[in-house]
Amino acid sequence: MTTMQIARESRSASSVDATPAHHAWVIRVGGRVASELAVDAATGEILSVNTNEDYQGRGYATALYRQAYADLDGRIFHAPTTHRFDDGDRFAARVGGPEMPACSTCCAHLYDDDDYREG
């Protein structure tokens, strides 16, 4: 793997609310995004990890995870297995690290207040 620069960016949910909705760690090559890891700012849950197919197999996603883990003092979590695709399972197995303890917080918005029951 060649020397790379990892940039950390905060992304807000809207132009009205400047509070970061998530943080992203990004590797750019020649001005193009080669790989990106997005993490929920409130929960530390990994929202997505994407590597352009031209750059896969170079360890970029792993490097992003390690940088995010260090920057967040280990408060970064893989999504619950029921929320991941096969690629996400392979990524979680490869880099290791904790999984979200429960999906009640990430699923709560899917139900009406009257219908949602935690547990």
Taking alpha carbons only, the member of 54, 111, 49 closest to residue 76 is 49
The structure's pTM equals 0.77
Nearest Cα to Cα of residue 83 among 119, 46, 58, 39: 46
- pLDDT score of 9: 79
| pLDDT tens string 64-75 | 999 999 999 999
Q: Residue 35 belongs to what H/E stretch?
A: strand 32-40
Name the DSSP letter for residue 32.
Answer: E
Q: Give the Cα separation of 22 and 79 in Å (integer).
A: 14
What's the pLDDT band for 110 if we cut at 50, 70, 90?
A: low
- Over range 33-57, report the average pLDDT: 93
> Which residue segments constitute the domains of the chain, with CATH numbers given?
6-110 (3.40.630.30)
The kind and range of the H/E element at 67 are helix 60-71
pLDDT at residue 41 above 60?
A: yes
